[in-house]
Amino acid sequence: MYRTHFGLQELPFTITPDTSFFFAHASHQEALNTLLVAVRSGEGFMKVIGEVGTGKTLLCRKFLDALDHREFVTAYIPNPYLQPMTLLLAIADELGIQYPQHINQHQLLKLLNRYLIETYAEGKRVLLCLDEAQAIPLETLESMRLLSNLETERRKLMQVVLFGQPELNVRLDNPAIRQLKQRISFSCRLAPLSLSEVEFYISHRLTVAGYRGPRLFPHKAVKQIYRASQGIPRLVNILAHKTLMAAFGEGAHVVTEKHVRMAVADTESTQNARTVGSRLLRYLTALVSAVAVVGLLPLATLALTGAAFLTAGGLA
């Protein structure tokens, strides 16, 4: 593709959660530090909330990589939309627990509890990370609480980190699992990137991918990507990747605003914000016409100024 053209060793803007590309911007680094401190202090339940595309899975993998595996035994469940028994089986598989083919939930819980006690006796901790936790059924969340009941006088024998979209908070507000909500001792929220962070983010990923040339994304191009993506890392990756493809197609060695516009036009996920802006712009235009009819020219001028602000990307 464009890798050789720009002198890259690998593609810099793939959307797979590769920890070598982890960018420690403010909220992500704060969340990582909080999780590391919390698990080492023996907390039972922790929670990380982030909108779609803000890098929850990448943070989870970076967090797991940062743990000392001489101290922690970890289990990662990427899709926990499972009934209680099925999730318990998945946890047992992740932990390498052997169990007979025909086993009921009570027997499986006994095996898991025995494993947790034996692991604790070896001086290790068991950590479970559940990605996409907003999809976990209520009865499955309650089974996680019951499994976490096993503890010593000093700490929990299994620690759980929930990674999920904001809908997870709504699910946890359900009175049926209020005991679980009370047990969440640390909660972090991942924020979108700011404009300056998007600039550093793009530069960081290019550097990791092996780019050593002059500046590839001018500030105006970065600003366009920021406005279109609203600082969501996944959308930044998609737009930057398509922008490089557009530049490569024209044989250019520096991207331009035209290349970004081509990328934005080709990306469906960026159309929603533009649609909202267009609707407000049409409303303000109608307002200008209405107030002009009754002779309120100062108000019309003010509305027109607001319309120009929206057109310039003030909603981003």
Report the C-alpha dihedral over residues 113, 151, 33, 241, rounded to 10 degrees.
Answer: 30
CA nearest to 285, candidates 262, 265, 308: 308
Q: Domain ranges for the chain, please list them.
A: 26-190, 195-271, 276-311
Give the pLDDT of the chain (316 residues) as one tens digit per residue.
799 999 999 999 999 999 999 999 899 999 999 999 999 988 889 999 999 999 999 999 999 999 999 999 999 999 889 999 999 999 999 999 999 989 999 999 999 999 999 999 999 999 999 999 999 999 999 888 888 777 777 778 999 999 999 999 999 999 999 999 999 999 999 999 999 999 999 999 999 999 999 999 999 999 999 999 999 999 999 999 999 999 999 999 999 999 999 999 999 888 665 554 444 444 445 444 544 444 444 444 444 444 444 444 444 3
CATH of domain 26-190: 3.40.50.300
Reported pTM: 0.83
Distance CA 160, CA 221 (A): 41
Question: What is the C-alpha separation between 58 and 15, in angstroms, rounded?
Answer: 10
- Amino acid sitting at position 164: G
Residues 67-102, buried b or exposed e (16+ Cβ, 10 A)? beeeebbbbbbeebebebeebbbbbbeebebeeeee
Q: Which CATH number fits domain 195-271: 1.10.287, 3.40.50, 1.10.8, 1.10.4100?
A: 1.10.8
Is 159 in a helix, a strand, or coil?
strand
CA distance 251 to 272: 31
What whole-number distance in Å separates Cα of residue 244 and Cα of residue 92? 44
Closest CA to 206 of 193, 222, 192, 220: 222
